[in-house]
Amino acid sequence: MAKKFDVAVIGAGPGGYIAAIRAAQLGLNTVCIDEFKSEDGKPSLGGTCLNVGCIPSKALLESSENYERALHKFADHGIKCKDVSLDVATMLGRKDNIVQQFTGGIALLFKKNKVASVHGHGRLTGAGDYYRIAVTRDNGSETIDAKHVIIATGSLPRQIEGITVDNVRICDNVGALSLKDVPGKLGVIGAGVIGLEMGSVWRRLGSEVTVLEALPTFLAAADDAVAREALRIFTKTVGLDIKLGCRIGSVETGKKSISVEFEYEGESRKLTFDRLVVAVGRVPNTEGLGVESVGVKTDERGFIEVDERNRTGVPNIYAIGDVVRGPMLAHKSSEEGVAVAETIAGQHGHVNLETIPWVIYTSPEIAWVGKTEQQLKAEGVEYRSGQFPFIVSGRARALGETAGFVKMLADAKSDRILGVHILGPFASELIAEAVVAMEFGATAEDIARIVHAHPSLSEAMHEAALGVDKRFLSL
């Protein structure tokens, strides 16, 4: 006999678990179905983000940065560290603990909010008064009927034909977050967010890292000025060997090494690595989901088609997060989850995709919101810009992190902020001010007139806003 619910959420990543909690808070009888299992084979809530994405990668980025500070940066402060050494097992253990605390925390949140949690693979099997979902798992199966369905099945790493990921020698994000020792030579295919973050971790821990990127431009989605300066810093200071415009040929796994043949600058090349990370983007996950049985459509790239309110076009079926259009970011998934739960409850849920902050947790960090300068040019929008370097910031100097800048773009006539681009320390935190400003329709002058604490990194945002009107006070 099928269990009946008002709402069934398929997937318990940051999109699905937040959608389920919000739906339950709004009085809807809600179930969340998720199939993710941790390395030890146990169900683990939180999806890619908590298990093998945002959280573990940030834990390792922090650990590896501390190691690098101890080796190379503390001396400037007069702190002498002798015999600095690395214990990778402890570092990985710390990361795993953080992950477990968060994934376990979701189970508690489900209990607190009265969300029914079901482990297993959910497959839509048909529609009547209710949508029917068959849930299968190793030790059994069950059937769930729901009036409303929220698909939040996320994404999977994109595969390259001819390269077999075993997550020991050739890794995707899962293996790259769990390498048991520091590879002498690490190859990374793909200079996107994940490739750069993983490359940074292992570079700081001592690997020689080569990043092979197919596109001729670096970080094409970022503002050109940020991408140019980031490429300079990542190659010259961080020590990543980034090769753009590569055409990957054959990849062969030998007894001890992996050799990669590729074309670069018109020549055939071959490099040998101890480990290879494949990070060439992610694809929407609709594997075995049975969307066709209820008439939900996917586009040519496999994304579930939705409108601006995440409706699939099939009554009462919604899709959110990585499995639909828009940036593949955890906070975007979560906000769509909230909006859809509120829509189901009769409210007017909505997410503004124009003000989603993007962050890359390299060192220095990269963050932006809104339009890039090249987008504004292409759209023929008249704009003014202000750019303020962190080298002039007292706080950045005190931190010893002076690379990068804040760049603000504002409409030439109305002065309304159109985009903010940051390369520098704590860019991930600083961008929040720009997001708030843009959501409130602020002008550059508004930010210029707001008092910013001194000495703080946020003064760079203030100065960039002043710079839009060409009246820097500290430059």
Ligand X SMILES: Cc1cc2nc3c(=O)[nH]c(=O)nc-3n(C[C@H](O)[C@H](O)[C@H](O)COP(=O)(O)OP(=O)(O)OC[C@H]3O[C@@H](n4cnc5c(N)ncnc54)[C@H](O)[C@@H]3O)c2cc1C
**Minimum gap (Å) between residue 122 Cβ and ligand X:** 4
Give me 393's structure tokens.
């910031």
Residue window 246-285: x/- pattern of binding to ligand X, with contact defined by CB under 6 A:
---------------------------------------x
Verify binding: residue 155, ligand X, rule CB under 6 A: yes
Q: Is 119 a catalytic residue?
A: no
HSE toward the beta carbon, residue 122, CA cutoff 13 A: 29
Q: Which residue of the set 119, 121, 454, 462 is catalytic?
A: 454
Question: Under rule CB under 6 A, how many of the chain's residues touch ligand X?
Answer: 35
Give me 418's structure tokens.
């159109």
The single-letter DSSP state of residue 322 is G
Cα separations (Å) of 142 from 4, 119, 137, 138? Answer: 12, 10, 9, 12
Instruction: Yes or no: say if 246 and 160 are a contact pair by the CB < 8 Å rule.
Output: no
Verify binding: residue 330, ligand X, rule CB under 6 A: yes
Verify binding: residue 12, ligand X, rule CB under 6 A: yes
Among 194, 226, 304, 376, binds ligand X (CB under 6 A): 194
**Residue position matching structure tokens 């800048």:** 405
The single-letter DSSP state of residue 158 is P
Classify 143 as helix, strand or coil: strand
Give the 3-state DSSP-derived string for 406-453, with helices as H, strands as E and coil as C: EEEEEECCCCEEEEEEEEECCHHHHHHHHHHHHHCCCEHHHHHHCCCC
**Minimum gap (Å) between residue 236 Cβ and ligand X:** 25
Stretch that binds ligand X, among 21-29, 43-51, 82-90, 141-149 (CB under 6 A): 43-51
- d(C-alpha 113, C-alpha 231), whole Å: 45
Verify binding: residue 152, ligand X, rule CB under 6 A: yes
**Minimum gap (Å) between residue 190 Cβ and ligand X:** 12
Residues 449-468 within binding reach of ligand X (CB under 6 A) = none
Verify binding: residue 15, ligand X, rule CB under 6 A: yes
Q: What angle do CA 249, 252, 253 make, to 5 degrees?
A: 150
Residue with smaller CB distance to ligand X, 47 or 386: 47
- d(C-alpha 285, C-alpha 322), whole Å: 8
Among 321, 349, 370, 467, binds ligand X (CB under 6 A): 321
Residue with smaller CB distance to ligand X, 8 or 464: 8
What residue ranges bind ligand X (CB under 6 A)? 10-16, 33-36, 47-49, 53-54, 57, 121-122, 152-155, 173, 194, 285, 289, 321-322, 328-331, 333, 361
Residues forming the active site: 454
